[in-house]
Amino acid sequence: MLRMIQSLFVVLILISGCTTPYEKSYSDFRINEDTFSVTAKGNQHTSEEIVERYLFRRASEVTLANGFRFFVFVSQEDRTRVGSISSVSGQTHSYGQGNSMQSQGSGGGLTIPLVEPGKSVWIKCFKDRPASEGVVVDADKFLRDNVTATEKR
């Protein structure tokens, strides 16, 4: 019983923590002159809504940093990772890569599912508002309306 409590304590320490900070949540690169790939990811404490906000924020920053004002999403891909942390026979194991999970060991333990949300998009940028490109995001307006002064630091 003591081993089970110790294992549970270790599992809880492993999964405790904070939401992924914005500065560590994204990556981006240029595809061509006006098209960029932007990816935002979180940890198990980051909601899908926060990851989506990070994605829009970074896409807006990339748009403005490259001399554009507007962007549209050209493509998007779910990059959510699903896994689990398990305590079996007094030992803690972490499993999972991508959207698959594996389990190992014999019952009597505790398994906690982990979901790390992520999204990847390609954005096409424009200096002027395009006439018929679907949903158009004004990068400057998005940042003004959605990013506080504290977050801009």
Give residue-wise pLDDT tens across range 68-116.
999 999 998 877 788 887 766 555 445 454 444 444 545 567 778 888 8
Does the pTM exceed 0.75? no
Q: Do residues 21 and 50 touch, judged by C-beta distance below 8 A?
A: no
Is 152 inside a domain boundary?
Answer: no
pLDDT digits (tens, 9 = 90+) for 114-138: 888 789 999 999 999 998 767 899 9
Q: Do residues 49 and 113 touch, judged by C-beta distance below 8 A?
A: no
From the list 85, 93, 107, 109, the residue with the least C-alpha distance to 16 is 85
Is 151 inside a domain boundary?
Answer: no
Is 126 inside a domain boundary?
Answer: yes
Its domain, for residue 82, covers 2-146
d(CA 89, CA 76) in angstroms, rounded, equals: 41
Is 33 inside a domain boundary?
Answer: yes
Is 153 inside a domain boundary?
Answer: no
- Give how many domains the chain has, as a whole number: 1
Q: Do residues 118 and 78 touch, judged by C-beta distance below 8 A?
A: yes
Is 77 inside a domain boundary?
Answer: yes
φ and ψ at residue 37, rounded to 5 degrees: -100, 130
Is 37 inside a domain boundary?
Answer: yes
